[in-house]
Amino acid sequence: MPPGVRIGCGIGVLVAGGVHLWLWWRGGYDHAPGLVGPAFVVDAVLSAGVGLLVLARGDRRAAWAGSALSAAALLSYVAARTIGVSGFVETRWTRPSVVAALCEGLVLVLLLTEALVPD
């Protein structure tokens, strides 16, 4: 993986995870119904590990892990904005949620490309 892609994607994963942790801690998502609140913490923890993995290794497995995590987070966000998740429907557009979604979208495209392109 080229160093610029590796560094940018690793930081993007870390930023998105940090936003999820901040939203849980300060944004009121710790009181979200069902599994939504704990999912924010799980995303933050996984993002820390995967972000560091992408930064440290930058190989195909790291690219797959980063793209899978980003895809799962984006799909969850789309579901929360449309049909709802575990009794929770997202109705507000906030700067942190848009930052996380943009990071995840960029990371998904770049890392999925890296994972699929032959060496």
This prediction has a pTM of 0.92
Query: Contact, 108 vs 50, CB < 8 A?
Result: no
* 107 CB neighbour count, 10 Å cutoff: 31
Residue 111 to residue 34: CA distance in whole angstroms: 31
Domain boundaries, the chain: 3-116
Share of the chain above pLDDT 70, in %: 100
Instruction: Tell me the per-residue pLDDT of 55-97, one tens digit each, with 9 for 90 and over.
Output: 999 999 999 999 999 999 999 999 999 999 998 999 888 899 9
